[in-house]
Chains A and B, each alone.
Chain A
Amino acid sequence: MIRSYFIYPVQFLVLVLLQVLILNNIQFSGYINPFLYLAFILWLPFETPKWLLMSISFLTGLTIDVFSNTMGMHTSASVFLAFCRPFFVELFAPRDGYEVNQRPSIQDLGLGWFLKYSAILVLCHHLFLFYVEVFRFTDFWNTLARAFSSAAFTLICIVIAEYFRVNVESKR
Chain B
Amino acid sequence: MRNLIHFISKYSYFFLFLLFEVFAFYILFLNNNYQGASFLNSTNAITGGLYSSYADWTDYLNLKEVNQTLAEENKRLQSQQFGSYTPLFENEIVLNDSVLQLKYVFLNSKVINNSTHRQNNYLTLNTGTLNGVKAGMGVIGPSGVVGVVKNVSEHYASVLSLLHRSAKISVKLKSSNYFGSLQWQGDNYRFGKVEDIPKHVQLNVGDTLVTSGFSATFPEGIATAVIQEFQPIEGDNFYDIKVKFLTDFKNLSQLYVVKNIYRTELEDLETLTGEGDD
Contacts and interface: CB of A to CB of B under 8 A. Distances in A.
Nearest to A74: B24
A12 to B, nearest CB: 15
10 contacts: A21-B54, A51-B13, A62-B40, A67-B50, A69-B31, A71-B41, A72-B28, A76-B28, A80-B21, A142-B187
B16 A51 contact: yes
Contacts, number: 93
B117 A30 contact: yes
Interface in B124-180: 124, 158
Contacts of A142: 187
Interface in A92-106: none
A71 to B, nearest CB: 4
**Chain A at the B interface: mostly helix, strand, loop or mixed?**
helix
Nearest to A70: B118
Contacts of B119: 133-134
A69 B24 contact: no
Contacts of B21: 76, 79-80
A77 to B, nearest CB: 8
Interface in A19-35: 20-21, 24-25, 27, 30-31, 33
Contacts of A58: 20, 24
Nearest to A24: B115
Contact of A27 (B25, B38, B116, B187): B116
Size band of the B side of the interface?
35 or more
Interface size class of A (residues with CB under 8 A): 35 or more
A17 B207 CA distance: 43
A107 interface: no
B115 A68 contact: yes
A72 B31 contact: yes
B24 A79 contact: yes
A50 B13 contact: yes
B188 interface: yes
A74 to B, nearest CB: 9
Contacts of B50: 20-21, 67
A46 interface: no
A27 B186 contact: no
Nearest to A128: B21
Contact of A54 (B16, B27, B188): B16
